[in-house]
C-alpha cells in the first residue's frame, strides 16, 4: 500500500451494530434480525445517521430525487471524474446485518482511514448509498442504481406501487425526496471507476479458506409476475369437477420452474418463486386468483431465456387442461456485467503486495454494481460470510475479514484516485 492505512476496526464493527438497531424486526436467538424497507421510518433513521457520520468527517453530503446519498471527499483536481464506492443499507424482511451495510460503512471507514493517513486524492472519492437495492417494496431491485445508470424509465419507476398501492412518487415525496427522477441519471463519464465491497452471500470463500473474492462478472437477473385466474368459490358447495383451482395450477407452475432450472444442467441457472399471493386467502374458499413472483438468474442470458420458453410451453398446457388464464408480466430482464480487467488487476496487485490470498469469482447475487457497470468500469470485493448464509439473521462476517476487505478497498481507492 502506498501509505499506512489504519482501519478503525472497533468503530467499524460498532457502527455496523448501531446501523442494525434501525429495524423493527423481532430479536432472534440465532443472530441479528434486520428488516429495513426503503423509505420506512427505520430506513429514514439510518439515512439521517449515515449523513451525520459523513458530515462529522467534513465530507460533502447530498442526495438526489430518489434518495441516493452521495458523500464526497473532494480531490485536488475536483473537476476530474471521481472514484466511487458504496452499496445499500435497505434490508429484506428478517435479513441479516451485513448485506450492503459492509459496503456503505466499510466505504466510509476506508475514506476516513485514507484521510487520517494523510492522503490528498487527486480525484475526488465518493461514497454512494443507493436507494432500494432490495426489491421488497416496489418489486424491482436496484431502483437507485437503475435510475443513476439510465436503465429504468423514470416515469415507469414513479408509477411503481407497493403492496398498499402507494406509488414511488407518493412515497418518496412523503420521505422528502421530490424533483424529477430524470435528474437522477448520471453521464457515463461521471465516474472514473466504481468499486463495491460486499459479503459473498455464498459459501465458496469460507469453504476454501480464502479471505477475499475479486468479482469478475455479475450474473444476469430477471423477474416476472404470473397471475393465474380460475374459478373459485365455496369450499363445501363447489364440487371438484366444477372447480378451476388457481392455487393447484400455481403449484404445477412452481414445480415447472424448478424442473426447467435443473434441466439446463448448468450450475449457473437458478430460479425461485419467492412469493405466492392467494385470493381470497380463506381456508373455506377455493382460490380464484394467485399471483406468483419469479426470480430467475444465469450468467448466460440466452440460457435463462430458454428456461422461460420451456416454462411458457408448460403454462400453455396448464391453461388448456385446467381451464385457467395465466398472464405473464415482465418486471426486469437484465444483462450480466463484466468487471473491468484493469481494476481487477489493480486489486490482484494489492493482494499480491500484501500477500493476501484471493479468489476470482462470479457474483450470483446481483448488486448495484450490475448497473453501475453501465456507466463506469467496475469491480467488486467479496468477504466470506459464515456458512455462506445471507438474507437471514444468522448472516455473519468476522471483524478481521471485514477489516481486511476495507483495507484492500481503501488501497484500491487511493490508487484509482491517483490515476
Ligand atoms: O437478490 C439479490 O441478489 C440482492 O441481494 N438483492
Ligand atoms: Mn440482498
Ligand atoms: Mn446486497
Ligand atoms: Mn445485492
Taking only the tens place, the pLDDT of each residue in 296-316 is 999 999 999 999 999 999 999
Mark which of 299, 333, 367 sits at the end of a domain.
333
Find out whether the beta carbon of 109 lies less than 6 Å from any atom of ligand 1.
Answer: no
Residues 47-68, mean pLDDT to the nearest whole number: 98
Considering the domain architecture, whether residues 238 and 375 belong to the same structural domain is answered as no
Residue 122 backbone phi and psi in degrees, to 5: -65, -55
- The answer for residues whose C-beta is within 8 angstroms of residue 267's C-beta and 6 or more apart is none
Cα separation, 336 vs 90, whole angstroms:
23
Considering the domain architecture, whether residues 160 and 32 belong to the same structural domain is answered as yes
Query: If phi over 0 gives left and psi between -120 and 50 gives alpha, with beta otherwise, what is residue 141?
Result: beta
3-state DSSP of 214-235: EEEEECEEEEEEEEEECECEEC
Return the closest-CA partner of residue 379 out of 250, 231, 216.
216
Considering the domain architecture, whether residues 208 and 242 belong to the same structural domain is answered as no
Residues 217-229, mean pLDDT to the nearest whole number: 97
pLDDT value at position 1? Answer: 44
Considering the domain architecture, whether residues 231 and 201 belong to the same structural domain is answered as no
CB 73 within 8 A of CB 35: no
Considering the domain architecture, whether residues 36 and 166 belong to the same structural domain is answered as yes
Q: How far is the CA of 302 from the centre of ligand 1 (A)?
A: 21
Cα-based distances in Å from 7 to 97, 114, 357? 20, 9, 19
pLDDT value at position 264? Answer: 98
Mark which of 307, 333, 359 sits at the end of a domain.
333
CATH code assigned at 247: 3.30.70.360
Share of the chain above pLDDT 70, in %: 99
Q: How far is the CA of 100 from the centre of ligand 2 (A)?
A: 7
Higher pLDDT, 178 or 39: 39
Considering the domain architecture, whether residues 87 and 130 belong to the same structural domain is answered as yes
Ligand 1 atom with least separation from CA of 297: 3
Q: Which residues pair with 272 in a beta bridge?
A: 295
Reported as a single tens digit per residue, the pLDDT across 111-162 is 999 999 999 999 999 999 999 999 999 999 999 999 999 999 999 999 999 9
Cα separation, 201 vs 239, whole angstroms:
47
Cα separation, 342 vs 310, whole angstroms:
39
Task: For residue 280, say if its preceding peptide bond is cis, omega within 30 degrees of 0.
Answer: yes
Considering the domain architecture, whether residues 141 and 278 belong to the same structural domain is answered as no
Reported as a single tens digit per residue, the pLDDT across 155-196 is 999 999 999 999 999 999 999 999 999 999 999 989 999 999
Considering the domain architecture, whether residues 395 and 253 belong to the same structural domain is answered as no
Reported as a single tens digit per residue, the pLDDT across 330-370 is 999 999 999 999 999 999 999 999 999 999 999 999 999 99
Residue 3, CA atoms < 13 Å, CB-side half-sphere? 14
In which domain, by residue range, is 283 found? 221-333
DSSP 8-state symbol, 25: P
- For atom 3 of ligand 1, the residue with the nearest CA is 365
Q: Which residues pair with 292 in a beta bridge?
A: 226, 276
Chain mean pLDDT for the chain = 97
Residue 236 backbone phi and psi in degrees, to 5: -100, -40
CATH code assigned at 31: 3.40.630.10
Considering the domain architecture, whether residues 21 and 108 belong to the same structural domain is answered as yes
pLDDT value at position 4? Answer: 75
pLDDT value at position 283? Answer: 97
Reported as a single tens digit per residue, the pLDDT across 203-213 is 999 999 999 99
Residue 212 backbone phi and psi in degrees, to 5: -145, 135
Chain position carrying cell 481503501: 410
pLDDT value at position 3? Answer: 58
Considering the domain architecture, whether residues 209 and 190 belong to the same structural domain is answered as yes
Cα separation, 234 vs 10, whole angstroms:
60
Number of domains in the chain: 2
Cα separation, 107 vs 83, whole angstroms:
12
**pLDDT at residue 318 tops 60:** yes
Considering the domain architecture, whether residues 93 and 205 belong to the same structural domain is answered as yes
Reported as a single tens digit per residue, the pLDDT across 366-392 is 999 999 999 999 999 999 999 999 999
Residues 22-45, mean pLDDT to the nearest whole number: 91
Q: How far is the CA of 109 from the centre of ligand 3 (A)?
A: 18
For 297-308, the DSSP string reads EES-HHHHHHHH
pLDDT value at position 325? Answer: 98
Q: How far is the CA of 238 from the centre of ligand 3 (A)?
A: 46
Please compute Rg for the chain using Cα positions.
23
**What pTM value is reported for the model?**
0.92
Considering the domain architecture, whether residues 60 and 155 belong to the same structural domain is answered as yes
Return the closest-CA partner of residue 197 out of 402, 348, 395.
402
Mark which of 333, 361, 376 sits at the end of a domain.
333
User: Which residue from 140, 391, 392, 395 has its CB within 8 A of the most atoms of ligand 1, so it is best to mutate?
Assistant: 391
Return the closest-CA partner of residue 338 out of 303, 296, 370.
370
Collapse the DSSP code of 120 into the 3-class scheme (helix H, G, I; strand E, B; otherwise coil) and give the result. Answer: coil
Find out whether the beta carbon of 202 lies less than 6 Å from any atom of ligand 1.
Answer: no
Return the closest-CA partner of residue 292 out of 253, 248, 318, 242.
253
User: Which residue from 365, 369, 389 has its CB within 8 A of the most atoms of ligand 1, so it is best to mutate?
Assistant: 365
Amino acid at each position: 500500500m502506498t501509505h499506512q492505512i489504519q482501519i478503525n476496526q472497533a468503530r467499524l464493527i460498532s457502527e455496523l451494530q448501531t446501523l442494525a438497531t434501525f429495524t423493527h424486526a423481532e430479536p432472534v436467538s440465532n443472530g441479528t434480525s434486520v428488516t429495513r424497507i426503503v423509505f420506512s421510518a427505520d430506513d429514514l433513521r439510518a439515512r439521517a445517521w449515515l449523513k451525520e457520520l459523513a458530515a462529522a468527517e467534513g465530507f460533502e453530503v447530498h442526495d438526489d430525487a430518489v434518495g441516493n446519498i452521495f458523500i464526497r471527499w473532494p480531490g485536488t483536481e475536483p473537476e476530474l471524474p471521481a472514484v466511487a464506492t458504496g452499496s445499500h443499507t435497505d434490508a429484506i424482511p428478517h435479513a441479516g446485518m451485513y448485506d450492503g451495510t459492509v459496503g456503505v460503512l466499510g466505504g466510509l471507514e476506508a475514506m476516513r482511514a485514507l484521510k487520517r493517513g494523510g492522503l490528498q486524492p487527486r480525484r475526488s472519492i465518493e461514497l454512494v448509498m443507493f436507494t432500494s437495492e432490495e426489491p421488497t417494496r416496489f418489486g424491482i431491485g436496484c431502483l437507485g442504481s437503475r435510475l443513476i445508470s439510465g436503465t429504468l424509465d423514470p416515469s415507469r419507476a414513479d408509477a411503481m406501487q407497493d403492496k398498499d398501492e402507494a406509488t414511488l412518487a407518493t412515497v418518496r415525496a412523503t420521505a422528502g425526496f421530490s424533483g424529477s427522477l430524470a435528474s437522477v441519471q448520471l453521464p457515463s463519464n461521471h465516474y472514473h471507476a466504481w468499486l463495491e465491497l460486499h459479503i459473498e452471500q455464498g459459501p465458496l470463500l469460507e469453504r476454501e479458506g480464502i479471505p477475499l473474492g475479486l468479482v469478475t462478472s455479475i450474473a444476469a437477473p430477471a423477474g416476472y409476475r404470473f397471475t393465474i385466474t380460475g374459478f373459485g368459490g365455496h369450499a363445501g358447495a363447489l364440487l371438484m369437477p366444477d372447480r378451476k383451482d388457481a392455487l393447484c395450477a400455481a403449484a404445477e407452475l412452481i414445480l415447472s420452474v424448478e424442473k426447467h432450472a435443473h434441466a439446463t444442467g448448468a450450475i449457473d441457472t437458478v430460479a425461485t418463486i419467492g412469493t405466492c399471493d392467494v385470493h381470497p386467502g380463506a381456508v373455506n374458499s377455493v382460490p380464484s386468483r394467485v399471483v406468483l413472483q419469479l426470480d430467475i438468474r444465469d450468467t448466460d442470458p440466452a440460457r435463462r431465456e430458454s428456461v422461460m420458453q420451456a416454462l411458457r410451453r408448460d403454462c400453455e398446457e396448464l391453461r388448456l387442461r385446467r381451464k385457467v388464464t395465466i398472464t405473464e408480466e415482465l418486471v426486469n430482464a437484465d444483462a450480466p456485467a463484466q468487471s473491468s480487467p484493469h481494476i481487477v488487476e489493480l486489486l490482484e496487485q494489492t493482494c499480491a503486495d500484501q500477500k493476501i490470498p484471493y479468489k476470482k469469482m462470479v457474483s450470483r447475487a446481483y448488486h448495484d454494481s450490475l448497473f453501475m457497470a453501465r456507466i463506469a468500469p467496475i469491480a467488486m470485493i467479496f468477504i466470506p460470510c459464515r456458512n455462506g448464509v445471507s438474507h437471514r439473521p444468522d448472516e455473519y462476517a468476522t471483524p478481521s475479514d471485514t477489516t481486511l476487505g476495507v483495507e484492500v478497498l481503501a488501497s484500491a481507492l487511493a490508487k484509482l484516485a491517483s490515476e
